[in-house]
Amino acid sequence: MKALNACIALIISASANAELIQHTDQIAEVKFEGSSYELGLHVGTVAKEQILDGIDRYNDMLGEMLPGLNVISLAKGMQGQNLFLRLKTVSPDAANYIKGLADSLNRDPHLLLAVGMSDEAVLESQRNGGMGFLQDKPASERCTVMGISDGQGRAWAQANFDYMGINYEGLIVLNHIDDDGKHRIIQTWAGLIPYGGVNKGGQPILMNTMADEGKVREVLDGEIISATSTPSYYLSWEAYNTESADELVEMMAEFPEYSAFFSYTLVDANERVLNIENHYNGQTILSSRDRQAHANHSTYQPEECVKPFTSQCSIDRQNASEEYMKTADVDTSKEKVQAFAESKPLWKGRGKYVGTVTSTHFRVNGKLVDMYIKTDDEHPEVHIRNH
């Protein structure tokens, strides 16, 4: 990714304070105080070249996944279903951010949602015989997350974000303080795809795609974006507005039907670690333990139910993570956890189509969170914090 323009590294306006930090040529951090609309407007201004380039590369990738699949067709389909208005109804905050981006980039909000809701595009490709989440090869799999808490103010978490090769560059971390003075950190690709961070309660939020639930819907011939489904961007944005495990549960269970299915692991240093999944049948399933690990399939269904809908690699990652967490504790060093995250079967490397985009370690002291983001051996670790 080209470095963002240094001449706008510090911007101060009447309504917002903003700072741009270009940590590496792959990762930029936008520190911003102001409304979500202003945040989107600012990100679209300082990173316009990178975002538009990312959209073009994403469009090319879609064509390789499934001939004929492209951003314009996806956006037109979403526009025909008034998806932005539906998002605005359930999450005004997410819609305001997208609207700010759209205004600064001079693009229709649906074009941005076509990229921001990338899981739906992958599922569309998968349903029509193109590349998807569930081919029987390691490259098709997605993320692995894990976290542990002593319940007395100390915790750590680790997340491997495994996704498309186009996501290796153009990473933008939104380090945002809103108009109410509440602080959240959202890791994104190109400002469009949220994939992890820290919520307003000072708790790491680890995200994963429920690839098996998408397959269940496919087998049952269900629509990816139906007339009654809630846009998944609601889930991928509102998670960072929560301040507790209870709020995350309420957010996930708010609506019975979504266009994509996610799992979240919330790591609270003063409570047990929450994992919650949303399912095609409208259920949310959750558990609270002192430690959790999650790959990209349901951990609450027996393996005989999972295997028809996901390749064995997903189960291998789940089993390996659970075994590791049995021996880990809150004192396990950052270096040891990172070494495990960068080992097989978790680590993907960087293949042409899919690989490990980032491996992020979270260290938590009460509500103070330090994030350590790694991409590849050619780039240094990036340190971002909510304090």
Q: pLDDT grade, residue 204 (50/70/90)? A: very high
Query: Rounded to whole angstroms, how far apart are CA atoms 50 and 10?
Result: 18
pLDDT digits (tens, 9 = 90+) for 232-261: 999 999 999 999 999 999 999 999 999 999
Give mean pLDDT, residues 250-278.
97
Q: Is 70 exposed, middle or buried (0-12, 13-18, 19+ CB in 10 A)?
A: middle
Q: pLDDT grade, residue 3 (50/70/90)? A: very low
Helix (H, G, I), strand (E, B) or coil at 319: helix
What percent of the chain clears pLDDT 90, i.e. is strictly above it? 76
Give mean pLDDT, residues 41-49.
97
272 and 288 Cβ atoms separated by less than 8 Å = yes
β-pair partners for 311: none
pLDDT digits (tens, 9 = 90+) for 303-348: 777 776 666 688 889 999 999 999 999 999 999 999 999 999 999 8
Q: What is the per-residue pLDDT for 212?
A: 85
286 and 274 Cβ atoms separated by less than 8 Å = yes
pLDDT digits (tens, 9 = 90+) for 157-193: 999 999 888 999 999 999 999 999 999 999 999 999 9
For 76, the token pair is 């037109």
Q: pLDDT grade, residue 216 (50/70/90)? A: confident
pTM confidence score? 0.93
Query: Rounded to whole angstroms, how far apart are CA atoms 339 and 220?
Result: 40
Is 155 a residue whose pLDDT tops 60? yes
Q: pLDDT grade, residue 351 (50/70/90)? A: confident
Q: What is the per-residue pLDDT for 84?
A: 98
Element holding 287 (H helix, E strand): strand 284-289
Query: Rounded to whole angstroms, how far apart are CA atoms 275 and 210?
Result: 12
Query: Rounded to whole angstroms, how far apart are CA atoms 192 and 182?
Result: 21
- Identify the weakest region by mean pLDDT among 101-105, 214-218, 286-290, 321-325: 214-218
Give mean pLDDT, residues 62-78.
91
Query: Rounded to whole angstroms, how far apart are CA atoms 309 and 346?
Result: 19
β-pair partners for 276: 264, 286
